[in-house]
A and B are shown apart, each in its own frame.
Chain A
Amino acid sequence: MAQKQFREVIREAIREEMERDENVFIMGEEVAEYNGAYKATQGLLDQFGDKRVLDTPISELGFAGLGVGAAMNGLRPIVEFMTFNFALVGVDQIINNAAKIRYMSGGQVKIPIVFRGPNASAGQLGATHSTSFESFYAHFPGLITIHPSEPYDAKGLLKAAIRDDNPVIFLESEQMYGWKQEVPDEEYLLPIGKAKVKREGKDVTVVADGKMYHVAKKAAEELAKDGVEVELIDPRTIKPFDMKTVIESVKKTNRCVVVDESHPFGGVAAEVGFQIQRDAFDYLDAPVQRVTIPDVPAPFSRKLFDAWIPGPKQVIDAVNTVTYRK
Chain B
Amino acid sequence: MATVIDMPKLSDTMEEGTIAKWNIKEGDKVEPGDVVAEVETDKATMDLEAFDGGTVLKILADEGDAVPVGGKLVILGEEGEDISDLEGDGDSGDSGKKEKSEEKSEDKDDEEDKGDEEEKEDKDDKEDGDAAKDGKDKEKEGKSGSSKDEKKGKDFDPLFGDLKEGKKGGNGKQQDDDGRVKVSPLARKLAEDRGIDVGRVKGSGPQGRVVKADIENFKEEDAKAAQADTKEKEAPKPSVSGTSLREDKDVKVSQMRKIIAKRLSESKFTSPHFYETVDIDMKRAMEVREAINEISDVKISFNDLVVKACAVALRRHPWVNASWMGDVVRLHGDVNVAVAVAVDEGLLTPVIRHADQKGLRDISIETKDFATRARDKKLQPEDWEGSTFTVSNLGMYGIEEFTAIINPPNAAILAIGAIRDVPVVENGQVVPGKRMKVTMSSDHRVVDGAKAAEFLNTVRSLLENPASMLL
Contact = CB atoms under 8 A, between A and B. Distances in A.
A254 B186 contact: yes
B68 to A, nearest CB: 23
Interface stretch (A111-119, A159-167, A279-287): A279-287
A284 B163 contact: no
B159 to A, nearest CB: 4
A308 B162 CA distance: 14
B134 A295 contact: yes
Interface string A263-290: 0110000000000000001111111011
B211 interface: yes
Contacts of A317: 157, 160, 163-164
Interface residues of B, number: 25
Contacts of A326: 168
Interface in A286-326: 286-287, 289-291, 294-296, 307-308, 310, 314, 317-318, 321, 324, 326
Contacts of A308: 159
B213 A324 contact: yes
Given A295-B134, A295-B138, A324-B204, A284 B185 contact: yes
Nearest to A257: B163
A286 B212 CA distance: 9
Contacts, number: 65
A312 B137 CA distance: 22
Task: Give the most central of B162, B163, B184, B205: most A CB within 10 Å.
Answer: B163
11 contacts: A265-B134, A283-B189, A284-B186, A286-B211, A289-B162, A290-B163, A295-B134, A296-B138, A308-B159, A321-B163, A324-B204
A118 to B, nearest CB: 24
B165 interface: yes
Interface string B181-207: 000111111000000000000001110
A321 B187 CA distance: 16
Interface of B: 131, 134-135, 137-138, 157, 159-160, 162-165, 168, 184-189, 204-206, 211-213
A236 B159 CA distance: 26
A287 B185 CA distance: 9
A314 B187 contact: no
A295 B133 CA distance: 12
A251 to B, nearest CB: 10
Contacts of B135: 265, 295
B211 A285 contact: yes
Task: Give the most central of B134, B168, B189, B206: most A CB within 10 Å.
Answer: B134
Given A290-B162, A291-B163, A294-B159, A283 B168 contact: no
B102 to A, nearest CB: 28
8 closest Cβ pairs, A-B complex: A285-B212, A285-B186, A294-B159, A285-B184, A282-B189, A318-B163, A284-B185, A281-B185
Contacts of B185: 281-285
B160 A314 contact: yes
B137 to A, nearest CB: 8
A249 to B, nearest CB: 14
Nearest to A281: B185
B160 A324 contact: no
Contact of B211 (A290, A291, A294, A324): A324
- Interface SS majority for chain B: helix
Nearest to B161: A294
B163 A324 contact: no
Contact of A287 (B165, B189, B212): B165
Contacts of B211: 285-286, 324
A303 to B, nearest CB: 12
Interface residues of A, number: 25
Nearest to B170: A324
A173 to B, nearest CB: 21
B163 A314 contact: yes
A180 to B, nearest CB: 30
Interface in A207-235: none
Contact of B184 (A264, A284, A289): A284
Given A264-B162, A282-B186, A285-B187, A324 B168 contact: yes
Contacts of A254: 186, 212
Given A254-B186, A285-B186, A324-B211, 20 more contacts: A264-B162, A282-B188, A283-B186, A283-B189, A284-B184, A284-B185, A285-B211, A285-B212, A287-B165, A291-B163, A294-B138, A294-B159, A295-B135, A308-B159, A310-B160, A314-B160, A321-B164, A324-B168, A324-B204, A324-B205
Nearest to B133: A265
A294 B189 CA distance: 34
A318 B160 CA distance: 10
Contacts of B131: 265
Contacts of B212: 254, 285
B133 to A, nearest CB: 9
Nearest to A287: B165
Contact of B165 (A282, A285, A291, A321): A321
A281 B164 CA distance: 20
Nearest to A310: B160
Contacts of B162: 264, 289-290
A264 B159 contact: no
A132 to B, nearest CB: 16
Contacts of B165: 286-287, 289, 321
Contacts of B160: 291, 294, 310, 314, 317
A30 B148 CA distance: 53
Contacts of B184: 284-286
Contacts of A291: 160, 163
B163 A286 contact: no
Task: Give the most central of A294, A310, A314: most B CB within 10 Å.
Answer: A294
Nearest to A280: B185
B156 to A, nearest CB: 12
Contacts of A284: 184-186
Contacts of A318: 163
Contacts of A289: 162-163, 165
Interface in A165-208: none
Contacts of A295: 134-135, 137-138
B158 to A, nearest CB: 8
B163 to A, nearest CB: 5
A151 B137 CA distance: 37
A254 B190 CA distance: 12
A293 to B, nearest CB: 8
A300 to B, nearest CB: 16
Given A324-B168, A324-B204, A307 B159 contact: yes
A285 to B, nearest CB: 4
Nearest to A269: B162
